[in-house]
Every structure is written in C-alpha cells, then in structure tokens.
Chains A and B, each alone.
Chain A
Amino acid sequence: MLNLLWILLGGYVAGILLPFCLPQEPKAQNLMASVPAIVATSAGVVLGLLGLMSSEPVTGSLASTIPLLTLAIRLDSLAAFFVLTISVVGLAASIYAIGYGRHVEGRASVATLGALFNGYLLCMTFVVLADNGFFFLLAWELMSLLSYFLVVTEHEKADVRYAGVFYLIMTHVGTAFIVMAFLIFFQGAGSFSFEAFRHPGQPLYGGMKTLVFLMALIGFGTKAGIVPLHVWLPYAHPVAPSHVSAVMSGVMIKTAIYGLIRVYFDFFGGQFPWWWGFTVLFLGATSALLGVMYALMEHDLKRLLAFHSVENIGIILLGIGVGMIFQSYGLKELAALGLLAGLYHTINHAMFKALLFLGAGSLLHATHTRNMEEYGGLLRRMPWTGLFFLIGAVSISALPPTNGFVSEWLVFQSLFLGFQIPAVFLKLMLPIAAAILALTGVLALACFAKAFGIAFLAQPRSAHARHAEEVPVPMRIAMGFLAAVCVALGIAPMVVVPLLDRVVTPLAGISIARNILAIDGWALAPVNVEFSSLSTPVLALLLVALSLLGLALAVTFGGRLKPRRYKTWGCGLNLSPRMEYTATGFVQPIKRVFSTIYQPTVKLETEFLDESRYFAKRRHFEFHIELIFEKYLYDPLVAFFATLADRLKVIQAGSLHLYLTYIFVALIALLLLAV
C-alpha cells in the first residue's frame, strides 16, 4: 500500500514540476499538469479503497531535523474514507482541467495554475493522512495558502483580490484556534504525535476539555463554513477557476469535518457531555437553514453553489451532532447511525457539489458570465452539461432515488430516533431539527428548480446564452463521471453502508452495518424494519416501471399521435425572453415570507415623461438583502480593530531607535518575569 502512496506522491510532485519544463506552450503545460494529477488521484482512489478494506491501519514515518516534527502518516479507515473522497473529486477536476485550460489561457499562467493545483491536492491528502500534530498543521497551512493563491488566479480584478484577502484572514483566524487546541493537547501529552493525543500522560480535565472543544469547533468551523463563520465562503469559492472551486467546495471544507471527527471521536474517544453534541446540532441546523436561504437569493450561479455548501455542511453536522448526543448518553448504535449519516452526506455532497461547480464552470466557459439572469435555453445548446447538471440538482435537492436523498433520509432517521434519549428537552429538540431539515430540503428544491429552470430552460435571455456551445469532451467526461458516481451512491447504498460502517466502527465502538441493512441489503432499516425502511433501488425500479405504465396508458387510450410544435401563446404579443420569469421574480414570495431574515430593501425610481405622469421614461429598480452576520457581527468587529490600530499609531512613530528601545524594554521585562 505504501507503493501506492509513493505513486501518489510522485504523481503530484511531477505535476508540480513538469509544467515548468515546457515554456510558452500552454496546451502542453496544461497536459503536463493534468496527466500526473490524474495518475496521482487514481492512485489515491485505490489507496482509499484499500485503506477502507484493510482491518489494520497502515503507518509510516520519516524523522525530520525540526524538533517535535515527525513526518508520520497513518492510514486508518477514517483517513482512507477522506483520501477516497478527495481523490475521486480530484480525479474529476483533473480531467476537467484538460478542457478548461483553454478558458484560463491568456488570463493566467497555465503552468503556475497546474502546479498550484497539484500541490493543493497533495497537501489536502496529507492533511487527512498526517499522524502528527505539527505535520498536520504544516499540511493544513500549506493547503490554505495554496488555495489562497488559486483563489487569486485572476488577481487583476478587484473583487478577486478582496475575496482573496478575506479568505486569507478568515482561514488564519481559524488556523490560530486549531493551533491553540493542539497546544493544549501537547501540554497534556508531551508530544505532537496523534497517538499521544489519544492517550495523554495527563488527561485533560473539565475546563480544558471544554476549551479544546470550542477551539476545535471555531477553528475547523471556519474552514467548514459553519454559520456565523461562513462569510468568506461565498466570496472565495466563486472567484477561483471552476475546477478549483469544485475541489474547494467539494472536499476542502470536508477536511474540517475530518478534523472535528478526529478530535471529538478519536482523541477524546467519544467521551463528552451531551451539550457538545447539542451545540454541534444547533450550529448544523442554523447553517443548513441560513445557507439555503441566502443561496435562494443569489443569482450568481457560483455564489449560489457556495452558499449551498454552507447548507450541506449544516446537514452533515446535524448527523454528527446527533451522533455525539447519542454517544454521550451511551446509545452506541444510534451514535454510529448519526455518524454514518453524516459521513454518507459528506461523500454525497462532495460528489454532487463538485459536479455542480464543474457544471457552473462549463456555463461560464460557454457564456462568459456567472449571472443567471443572462442564461436561459441552454439545455438545447449544451445537452450533456444540462443533463449532468440536472442529475446534480436532483441529488442536492435530496429527491429520491438519488444519493442526497439516501443520506438526508438517514439523518432524518437518526433525528427521529431521538425519542430514545431520556431527556425531554432533547426529545423535543430533535424532531424540531428534523422539521428544520425538512424546510431546508424544500428550499433547496426551490433553489435548484430556479437554478436549473432559469439557466437551462425556455429561451436564451442574452446574446451570450444564444451563442453558447457545448463544452469540450474532457469537461463532459469529468461531469459524466461524477454524475455516474452520484447515481451509484444513490441506488447502491448496500455497497456504501458496509464501507462507511468500517469507518464508524472504531469511532463509535460498534458495528451497525448488519442492523442497518435489511432484506439482503435491498433496504436500509436503521435499528429495525419495524421502525423505518427505505429501498432506493426498488423506488428507482418503481419510478421507471410506472413511467412506462404512463407511456403504455397514453398509447393504449390515445395511440401515438405525433405532437404538433407551436409557439407558446404570448397573450397576443410575440413571445420574447423578456416575458419569462426571472430568477429574482421566482424567489420573490420566499423573500417576502421570510423578510425577517432577509431584511430586504427595495428602491424604485421612476422618471416620467414631461407631457404626462402616466408614461414612464425610465425606471430604475434595485433590491438588496441584508447579510445580517456581516452587518451586525463582522462590520463592528472590523471597525473595532481599525480603531484599535488607529490608537496604537501613537507608539508607532517610525523611528528605528524607538523600536529598538521597545524591544530592549520587552526583553528586560521578560527576563525579570523569568527570574
């Protein structure tokens, strides 16, 4: 298995170096970056699968000259699961990059982009493989930095630079919290190795443990995009090149989920009070609901998808949070179920979100705009992209029999099973969380009906959309591959659940695959068939069979009259794209019903003709929604630090002698303290 790891490492390193060996040849440079990445990610897929199958974790380590740092890796089932997820999405993104290169040409250096992308995937893989706190932080930091460089690929644009800086600050605040959490672990353990974290010399007690919980939650939460730490996500993810967005939204934010599970279930061994789980659950529910609500109001397709990542991280956390609650009450089977549901949604979200981002990239490639209001009629012009985007949209809307439905269903079941908890408060809260999940699900449906409907259906709304053409073959292959994975994850839960069970077993201390799979694996039945069951393969069969029944009925009763094609009636006028519903109009009722959250402001200015007040010369319509967290949390915070910095200017006079004096005084003070 270590051989595979060397192939993976070699592939990525080759992908970093080779593009620079061929100067001035963008097409070849692109290939030189993408092909090694394809090799490396394929090795990663196999490595992840083998890691999931093997019963014993694989370890390896290289000593280094830096104190406390050992380049130690450990491929246990949890790490293997994430390696697999990263590699599958990475593989699709690398294939996509072959075709997408042409889009980048002339805007940025293809060689640099390719090299950065390989390095980024490499660091991400090592984040989940690392078995040493120091090494983990190193990989984590490199991953964040490389992703920053990828975000600012088109740095000539002001909004891209703004997004980049925003991301850089947020991710470093997050990293700072993770460092602090690890330092607390280090104090007790005396070493940075994860093994020592698991079994520290001096176990952490009460307050310190809570502190680690909160720091890990804030630190990893920033990367994951938990509300209210999500604000960077809708800025940074959209401006990166689309295959990078796919990896960022699909898997990079999942490394934070990995971190949370690693700390709570592995380092702490699942020993924590119930309110930890409840906090995670609460944040999950909030993120899910607010994420989808803001997504609904977005008309920039990639920003919309970024907000949906916030939503889906919320759903994952609902699963993990409920698992933590069960764990704290010693209900091991249910804890395993919640975790399994969360992990199932993790891999599902990685696949459909990457697919949707690649789809959005294809639209960008074909129309040169991210504004949905300028799309329209693209399904006829880009049939393959349309089909794959539809599969992604149906999956993310959690409609049966797709993969998104299976994992959301499992989350629902674990929430329902909350009635087994002895505390009445939680008994009531979990069904309410289920109701929030239901609301989230339907709003996601509305959002993707809007996204797909406005972008792909009816008539083109702009010249961009009218002249759109289907994207190159490699891009289609990448999307088709992810779409196929989505479908497979949906209709074959009997294959997925046993694999996930291998991840969950060491964490929850119990294997539940046999309890979940019923009727020879044809149905999922958490706990028992009596309580609930679901069989997506059977539902898929039924849907196909009954569609055919509909067809048969139509033929029997009516024969096969050929339909007549005629234009839609435009109320007596010639039908034009301006008569179509817009994305803004589509979500207007939702905006109005939930106006407490959106706090919309509408501005309508009309200039009338001089002759009469009944005829308008020009109308100007503007509407904004308030991003409450930015306004009430971040703006005051930024303002506070700005004032603070202003005040500190007093001691910063620009004189070198003065600064030397400060250093000298500080040194004396420290020495005095030490004595």
Chain B
Amino acid sequence: MLEATTLIVAQTTVLLAVSPFLVGLIRKVKARLQLRRGASILQPYADLAKLFKKQPVISTTTSWIFTATPYIVFASTLTAGLLVPTFTSQTPMNFSGNIIALVYLLALGTFFLILAGLDAGSAFGGMGGSREAIVASLTEPAMILSIFAIALTAGSTNLSTVVHKTAVLEGIMTDPSPHLMALAALFIVALAETGRVPVDNPATHLELTMIHEAMVLEYSGRHLALLEWAAGLKLAVFLSLITNVFAPWGIATTVAPAAIGIGLLVYIIKIAVLAVLIGVLECMFAKLRLFRVTDLLGVAFILALLGLLFFYILRS
C-alpha cells in the first residue's frame, strides 16, 4: 500500500515536472532550426509560475462550466497519465483502466474544453470546438485499432501489463511488422491529439488555423495555467505511451531503487528524443488544411488496420 502510494505520487510528480520541459524542448528545437536563438528550455515553467500569479478574467456571459473546465481537464489528463507506464512498468493504477479508459478519459477533457469554448460566447470558441470534434472523431478509431494490434501480441489491453510483458519477455515480438504499422498509426494519432503540426499549430493565434488555442482563447490567469499544463501533460502521456509500448528498453521492471533510478533517467532521455523528433517534423511540414487532415487520419486508420491484418496472417 505504502509502496503503491509512493509510486503514484512519484508518477504524478514526474509527469507534472516533465511536461513543461517537453514543451520548452520542442520550442527550442524549432527555434534553432529556424535559425533563432529561442527562449530557454525552462521558459514554460516560468510562464506557468507567472500565469498562476495573474488575476484571471472571466467573461460575464459564462457559467460555472467555464470555471470548472480547467480543473476537469487537468484532472482527467493526469488520471490518464497514471494509467500509462512512465519510468516503471509496474504502474500502481494499472488495474483501474486499460487503453480504452485512457482514450475516454482524454475524451472527457475534450468534451469540457468544447463546452468551455462555446460558453465564452464568441465565435472563436465554437469554431475551435467544432474542429476539435471532427479531429477527435477521426483519431480515436485509429488509436483504438493501433493499440489493439499491440495488445494482441502481449495478450493484454492494460498498458502497464503490455509494457511489462514486452520488457520482461524477450522475443515476444516474433515479427515486428504489425508493430511498425501500429507505431506509425499511433504517431500520427499522437500528433493530432496533442494539437501539433500538421494537424494544429500550438504557436498560432490566427483564427484560420486555430483549433486547441481557439477553445482556450478566453482563459487567463490560473485557469490558463492549468490548461497549458494539461496540454503539456497530454503530450507527455502520448510520448510515454509511444516510447514505452514500442521501445520499453531500460524501463524499471522491479521496484528496486537502482532500477527506478535508471528507469527515470532512460525515460527522460527517450521522451526527450521523441520531443526533438516532433520539433524537427514541425519545421519540415506545413500545417494541413482542415479538410486535408481527414486523409492523414485515414492513413493512420488504414495503417492500424493493416497492422491487425498482418498480425492475424502471420500468426495463422
């Protein structure tokens, strides 16, 4: 019990601590590739601290939904984070939900974000919500199928169990092709879900291109801080998911302090590498037109389906 509690607290802390770093890292990589010096990697921490101290302004048209949303989004993203293995494969909250719970917990946040966007009463919020709805509806089938292709290999849909089995049992992947396809699908899904280029652009404030930013446009102060933090957390959740499911190397499979120390170090390196990759990709591609995103997400879905098909063909 004590051990589980410690692990839960540790995982919460790690996720909270690491997410602004990822955001800062991506920004830094983009800046350097664009031949700018860019702000410090630690800038997002300073931004959060500043935002928390500012007085929030709340629109007179809004209801309690607007005020409650930042807390709900923060909590649901963090709860989802507790279902994903980070530095240890023995996530204590593993039993409380599998991949589907993860997907739907993130959807809970999306639902309230859309509501908050509509609540402000300006056209922007509704526009963001409307776009978020279509992007979400195209990503989730691909996400569920891709994870399922991997779940079949490990014989489990609980993320921690999948990772633990893959890490402990060498050679569980007899053929990597289903995994590679699922990986590609999940990567596209992760870009779409976390609002990165080419689906959305977190650095924009142009009405034509905003999705996530449009929904949170009316937020300020501590509410904005929580939402920004939650957005970072979502990124951390997806990066942890991808690295640990497909490359669980170095993850702590026991609760020995040494293993956990190594696990933590390797984890941070792995997600940092992935964050750098996202930064590079963001510089290489332009944002897609909204109705082009459909094709990209269609590709993700087909890839995931092919992964599943390959699994059955190779096994039978």
A residues sitting closer than 8 Å to B (CB atoms) are 377, 379-380, 386, 390, 394, 397-400, 405, 409, 412-413, 416, 419, 424, 427-428, 431-432, 434-436, 438-439, 441-443, 445-446, 448-450, 452-454, 456-459, 518-519, 522-523, 525, 529-535, 538-539, 542-547, 549-551, 553-554, 557-559, 561-571, 575, 577, 579-581, 585-590, 592-593
- Asked if A561 and B78 sit within 8 Å, CB to CB, the answer is no
- Asked if B291 and A563 sit within 8 Å, CB to CB, the answer is no
Does B174 count as interface, using CB distance less than 8 angstroms?
A: no
A462 CA to B316 CA in the complex, in Å?
62
Q: How far is the CB of B158 from chain A (nearest CB, A)?
A: 6
Q: How many residues of B contact A (CB 8 A)?
A: 90
- Which of A412, A428, A549, A553 sits near B308, CB closer than 8 Å? A428
Asked, given contacts A535-B96, A569-B122, whether A427 binds B312 with beta carbons under 8 Å apart, the answer is yes
Please name the residue on chain B nearest to A558 by beta carbon.
Answer: B52
Asked, given contacts A530-B156, A549-B75, whether A435 binds B59 with beta carbons under 8 Å apart, the answer is no
- Asked if B97 and A535 sit within 8 Å, CB to CB, the answer is yes
Q: Which residues of A contact B202 (CB under 8 A)?
A: none
Does B130 count as interface, using CB distance less than 8 angstroms?
A: yes
Q: Which residues of A contact B151 (CB under 8 A)?
A: 416
Q: How far is the CB of B120 from chain A (nearest CB, A)?
A: 5
Q: How far is the CB of B290 from chain A (nearest CB, A)?
A: 7
- Asked if A568 and B95 sit within 8 Å, CB to CB, the answer is no
Q: Which residues of A contact B34 (CB under 8 A)?
A: none
A298 CA to B48 CA in the complex, in Å?
41
A569 CA to B207 CA in the complex, in Å?
14
Residues of B60-90 at the interface with A, using a CB-CB cut-off of 8 Å, are: 60-65, 67, 70-72, 74-76, 78-79, 82
Q: Which residues of B contact A459 (CB under 8 A)?
A: 61, 121
- Asked if B136 and A534 sit within 8 Å, CB to CB, the answer is no
Q: Which residues of A contact B218 (CB under 8 A)?
A: 568
- Asked if A424 and B316 sit within 8 Å, CB to CB, the answer is yes
- Asked if A457 and B118 sit within 8 Å, CB to CB, the answer is yes
- Asked if A445 and B96 sit within 8 Å, CB to CB, the answer is no
Does B179 count as interface, using CB distance less than 8 angstroms?
A: no
Please name the residue on chain B nearest to A522 by beta carbon.
Answer: B95
Residues of B81-118 at the interface with A, using a CB-CB cut-off of 8 Å, are: 82, 93-98, 100-101, 103-105, 107-108, 110-111, 114-115, 117-118
A559 CA to B222 CA in the complex, in Å?
10
- Asked if B104 and A441 sit within 8 Å, CB to CB, the answer is yes
A569 CA to B59 CA in the complex, in Å?
9
Q: How many A-B residue pairs have CB under 8 A?
A: 283
Does B225 count as interface, using CB distance less than 8 angstroms?
A: yes
Please name the residue on chain B nearest to A590 by beta carbon.
Answer: B134
A345 CA to B89 CA in the complex, in Å?
33
- Asked if A557 and B226 sit within 8 Å, CB to CB, the answer is no
A400 CA to B58 CA in the complex, in Å?
28
Q: Give 6 closest A-B pairs by Cβ, nearest first.
A: A581-B126, A453-B118, A558-B52, A446-B133, A557-B52, A546-B75
Q: How far is the CB of B89 from chain A (nearest CB, A)?
A: 14
Asked, given contacts A534-B101, A570-B122, A585-B126, whether A565 binds B58 with beta carbons under 8 Å apart, the answer is yes
Q: Which of B139-147, B234-242, B262-270, B272-280 lies at the interface?
A: B139-147
Q: How far is the CB of A68 from chain B (nearest CB, A)?
A: 49
- Asked if B226 and A581 sit within 8 Å, CB to CB, the answer is no
- Which of A379, A380, A438, A522 sits near B141, CB closer than 8 Å? A438
Q: Which residues of B contact A590 (CB under 8 A)?
A: 133-134, 137
A538 CA to B101 CA in the complex, in Å?
12
Q: Which residues of B contact A405 (CB under 8 A)?
A: 104
A559 CA to B291 CA in the complex, in Å?
44
Does B294 count as interface, using CB distance less than 8 angstroms?
A: yes
- Which of B60, B71, B101, B294 sits near A409, CB closer than 8 Å? B101
A564 CA to B58 CA in the complex, in Å?
6
- Which of A518, A562, A565 sits near B95, CB closer than 8 Å? A518
- Which of A416, A424, A522, A581 sits near B157, CB closer than 8 Å? A416
A438 CA to B60 CA in the complex, in Å?
36
Residues of B205-246 at the interface with A, using a CB-CB cut-off of 8 Å, are: 218, 221-222, 225-226
Does B150 count as interface, using CB distance less than 8 angstroms?
A: no
Asked, given contacts A416-B148, A428-B308, whether A446 binds B63 with beta carbons under 8 Å apart, the answer is no
- Asked if B126 and A442 sit within 8 Å, CB to CB, the answer is no
- Which of A398, A436, A542, A553 sits near B79, CB closer than 8 Å? A542
- Asked if B108 and A399 sit within 8 Å, CB to CB, the answer is yes
Does B127 count as interface, using CB distance less than 8 angstroms?
A: yes
A448 CA to B111 CA in the complex, in Å?
9
Please name the residue on chain A nearest to B316 by beta carbon.
Answer: A424
A534 CA to B157 CA in the complex, in Å?
11
- Asked if A399 and B291 sit within 8 Å, CB to CB, the answer is no
Does B155 count as interface, using CB distance less than 8 angstroms?
A: yes
- Asked if B157 and A532 sit within 8 Å, CB to CB, the answer is yes
Q: Give 4 A-B pairs besides A446-B134, A547-B74 with Cβ atoms closer than 8 angstroms.
A: A400-B104, A435-B142, A435-B305, A532-B157
- Asked if B134 and A593 sit within 8 Å, CB to CB, the answer is yes
Q: Which residues of B contact A431 (CB under 8 A)?
A: 145, 148, 308
- Asked if B104 and A446 sit within 8 Å, CB to CB, the answer is no
Question: What are 27 pairs between A and B in contact, CB < 8 Å?
Answer: A390-B65, A394-B111, A400-B104, A405-B104, A431-B145, A435-B144, A435-B305, A441-B140, A445-B136, A449-B133, A453-B129, A523-B95, A531-B157, A533-B94, A535-B96, A539-B105, A546-B78, A550-B71, A550-B226, A563-B56, A565-B60, A566-B57, A568-B61, A581-B125, A581-B126, A581-B127, A586-B130
Q: Which residues of B contact A533 (CB under 8 A)?
A: 94-98, 158
Q: Which residues of B contact A449 (CB under 8 A)?
A: 111, 114-115, 118, 129, 133
- Asked if A543 and B75 sit within 8 Å, CB to CB, the answer is yes
Does B301 count as interface, using CB distance less than 8 angstroms?
A: yes
Q: Which residues of B contact A529 (CB under 8 A)?
A: 95
Q: Which residues of B contact A586 (CB under 8 A)?
A: 118, 126, 129-130, 133
A364 CA to B143 CA in the complex, in Å?
39
Q: Which residues of B contact A534 (CB under 8 A)?
A: 96-98, 100-101
Q: Which residues of A contact B108 (CB under 8 A)?
A: 394, 399-400
Please name the residue on chain A nearest to B81 by beta carbon.
Answer: A546
Q: Which residues of A contact B312 (CB under 8 A)?
A: 424, 427-428
Q: How far is the CB of B14 from chain A (nearest CB, A)?
A: 14
Q: How far is the CB of A489 from chain B (nearest CB, A)?
A: 16
Please name the residue on chain B nearest to A402 by beta carbon.
Answer: B108
Does B131 count as interface, using CB distance less than 8 angstroms?
A: yes
Q: Which residues of B contact A518 (CB under 8 A)?
A: 95
Please name the residue on chain A nearest to B137 by beta carbon.
Answer: A442
Does B119 count as interface, using CB distance less than 8 angstroms?
A: yes
- Which of B105, B115, B143 sits near A453, CB closer than 8 Å? B115
- Asked if B57 and A563 sit within 8 Å, CB to CB, the answer is yes
Does B123 count as interface, using CB distance less than 8 angstroms?
A: yes
Q: Which residues of B contact A546 (CB under 8 A)?
A: 12, 74-75, 78-79
- Which of B96, B145, B152, B222 sits near A558, CB closer than 8 Å? B222
A450 CA to B132 CA in the complex, in Å?
12
Please name the residue on chain B nearest to A593 by beta carbon.
Answer: B294
- Asked if B115 and A558 sit within 8 Å, CB to CB, the answer is no
Q: Which residues of A contact B64 (CB under 8 A)?
A: 379
**CB 8 Å contact bits of B155-177 with A (1 = contact, 0 = none):** 11110010000000000000000
Most buried by A among B67, B126, B218: B126
**CB 8 Å contact bits of B274-316 with A (1 = contact, 0 = none):** 0000000000000000110010000001000100110010001
- Asked if B156 and A532 sit within 8 Å, CB to CB, the answer is yes
- Asked if A458 and B140 sit within 8 Å, CB to CB, the answer is no
Asked, given contacts A442-B107, A542-B82, A589-B131, whether A579 binds B122 with beta carbons under 8 Å apart, the answer is yes
Does B255 count as interface, using CB distance less than 8 angstroms?
A: no
- Asked if B101 and A400 sit within 8 Å, CB to CB, the answer is yes
Q: How far is the CB of A545 from chain B (nearest CB, A)?
A: 8
Q: Which residues of B contact A587 (CB under 8 A)?
A: 130
Does B32 count as interface, using CB distance less than 8 angstroms?
A: no
- Asked if B75 and A547 sit within 8 Å, CB to CB, the answer is yes
A419 CA to B155 CA in the complex, in Å?
10
- Asked if A445 and B141 sit within 8 Å, CB to CB, the answer is no
A538 CA to B79 CA in the complex, in Å?
10
Most buried by A among B62, B108, B142, B218: B108
